[in-house]
């Protein structure tokens, strides 16, 4: 079991790093500007240190699990989950006076 976990991590960590990079590149195009690690951390609602760890491959189990679950959904369902998440973020931002400063 330990060996299986190590094999899974060797595959998963570089894949997750590539996924984060793809998200960063797509966000840069969408927002029309270069994004730093600090910018990504703010957009993700996490710290610069955590984002740096994710970019290096040090990922928390919860992020691994979330990506695994999302990847198992059909595209249409994954998009619905992401749309719901986006809508909840918009609602939270509208009621949180500090949200604008967090996302910039």
pLDDT tens sequence across 11-64: 555 677 888 888 899 999 999 999 999 999 898 888 899 888 888 877 676 777
How is 25-69 classified by DSSP, letter by letter? HHHHHHHTS---HHHHHHHHTS-HHHHHHHHHT---HHHHHHHHH
Backbone CA torsion sign across 80, 52, 16, 6: negative
Q: Is the pLDDT of residue 80 over 50?
A: yes
CA separation for the pair 42, 9 (Å, rounded): 26
Nearest Cα residue to 7 out of 26, 15, 49:
15
User: Taking the model in full, what pTM does it have?
Assistant: 0.61
């Amino acid at each position: 079991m330990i060996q299986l976990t190590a094999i899974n991590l060797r595959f998963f960590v570089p894949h997750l790093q590539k996924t984060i990079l793809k998200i960063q590149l797509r966000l840069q195009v969408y927002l029309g500007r270069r994004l730093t690690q600090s910018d990504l951390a703010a957009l993700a609602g996490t710290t610069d240190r955590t984002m740096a760890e994710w970019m290096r491959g040090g990922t928390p189990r919860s992020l691994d699990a979330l990506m695994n679950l999302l990847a198992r959904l059909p595209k249409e369902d994954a998009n619905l989950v992401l749309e719901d998440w986006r809508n909840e973020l918009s609602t939270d931002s509208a009621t949180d006076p500090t949200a604008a400063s967090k996302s910039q």
